[in-house]
Amino acid sequence: MLLAARAENERLRQIIKELQRYRFGRRAESLPEDQLLLGLEEAEQVEAEGFASAEAADPSKRDARARKRRANRGSLPGHLSRVEQVIDVADKICPCCQGQLHVMGEDVSERLDIVPAQFRVIVTRRPKYACRACEEVVVQAPAPARLVESGIPTEATVAHVLVSKYADHLPLYRQAQIYARQGVNLDRSTLADWVGKAAFLLRPVHERLFERLKASDKLFADETTALVLDPGRGRTKTGQLVRLCPRRPTLGRNGPTRRRLSLRSGPQGRTADPASSGLCRNPAGRRIRGLQGIGRTQRRELGLLLVARASPLL
């Protein structure tokens, strides 16, 4: 027990040291935010495990800790469906006078429950009808349109794959592993085909978003580098994933930073007008052209803003 406590103490000291380095160390030596959150999660899990062990050994500590914790009543979203469970007494006869008991009140508590994702198969049947009299007519309802022709996914399945990949940062191979645990064997290349098909069908949405960006008086961008395949060269190259918005990000500062790129006309800090500067896409849809009033360096960087190779869903 003593050796285990010392090892646990040393591990927690290391976590605190890393947190201090992130908070007070030089920027080049600081930890990424995701790594910091992982350290905090681990520390909180260790603390919760310690409380559970102490409560199991001494039940009186459970009541003391429950009083310190802030109640979570009423914080669950109202749009969630409620499944009521009524726990009633079996005998409603008064044990003193044998009279009938009546309801004087109730205690209500809410707990958050989750229903794990379940796969199901949509079976579509299209009956065929024929005429017995002439035996020349066969009538059948037309088949419904599919997102993936001759494919097995429904629109909801493809949407789930897209959200998992781009919003939850789950690579396709990990999604394939998750599906395999449910007995659904899908190859990563199959999921990639679904994503590519959806990206093609989402192009009108992408074009509409870009038109609205061009109509804005100001345009701000935040770029992130990412390795992308370079067909024909057998290696990868650095691409740009860029977030464009028509207004200044609320979490940024006035000065330009490495993570945010704004359209500026000069050292005075005046913001260029994309409409008057001729901001548009070339026929290939790969980069921005016609940017007058900005420096050469910014023009080169802005040429990388809409590199569609990085992600067709950008």
Give me the mean pLDDT over the 40-65 stretch: 70
* 164 and 241 assigned to the same domain: no
The pLDDT confidence band at residue 311, using thresholds 50, 70 and 90, is very low
Average pLDDT of every residue of the chain = 73
Query: What's the rounded Cα separation, in Å, for the pair 263 and 219?
Result: 7
- pLDDT at position 127 is 95
235 phi, psi to nearest 5 deg = -155, 180
* 197 and 213 assigned to the same domain: no
The count of structural domains within the chain is 3
* Percent of the chain clearing pLDDT 90 (strictly above): 26
* 193 and 220 assigned to the same domain: no
Look at residue 267 and tell me whether its pLDDT is greater than 60. no
> Would you say residue 310 lies in a domain?
no
- Structure token digits, residue 110: 């809410």
* 267 and 295 assigned to the same domain: yes
* Percent of the chain clearing pLDDT 70 (strictly above): 65
* 239 and 296 assigned to the same domain: yes
* 184 and 219 assigned to the same domain: no
- pLDDT at position 252 is 45
- pLDDT at position 41 is 66
> Would you say residue 283 lies in a domain?
yes
Look at residue 238 and tell me whether its pLDDT is greater than 90. no
Specify whether the CB–CB gap between 221 and 244 falls below 8 A. yes
Of the given ranges (157-161, 256-260, 288-292), which has the lowest mean pLDDT?
256-260
Query: What's the rounded Cα separation, in Å, for the pair 116 and 114?
Result: 6
* 187 and 216 assigned to the same domain: no
The pLDDT confidence band at residue 82, using thresholds 50, 70 and 90, is very high
> Would you say residue 27 lies in a domain?
yes
* 171 and 235 assigned to the same domain: no
> Would you say residue 99 lies in a domain?
no
Of the given ranges (6-15, 66-75, 100-109, 277-286), which has the lowest mean pLDDT?
277-286
> Would you say residue 4 lies in a domain?
no
Query: What's the rounded Cα separation, in Å, for the pair 18 and 34?
Result: 13
Give the end of a domain, one of 172, 187, 204.
Answer: 204
Look at residue 291 and tell me whether its pLDDT is greater than 80. no
Q: Which residues are CB-contacts of 187 (< 8 A; sequence separation ≥ 6)?
A: 176
> Would you say residue 144 lies in a domain?
no
Sheet containing 220-230: order of strands: 235-245, 220-230, 261-262
User: 25: domain range?
Assistant: 9-49
> Would you say residue 311 lies in a domain?
no
The pLDDT confidence band at residue 66, using thresholds 50, 70 and 90, is low
* 191 and 270 assigned to the same domain: no
239 phi, psi to nearest 5 deg = -110, 180
Q: What pTM, to 2 d.p., does this model score?
A: 0.56
> Would you say residue 120 lies in a domain?
no
Q: Could you tell me how far CA 260 lies from the centroid of its own chain?
A: 22
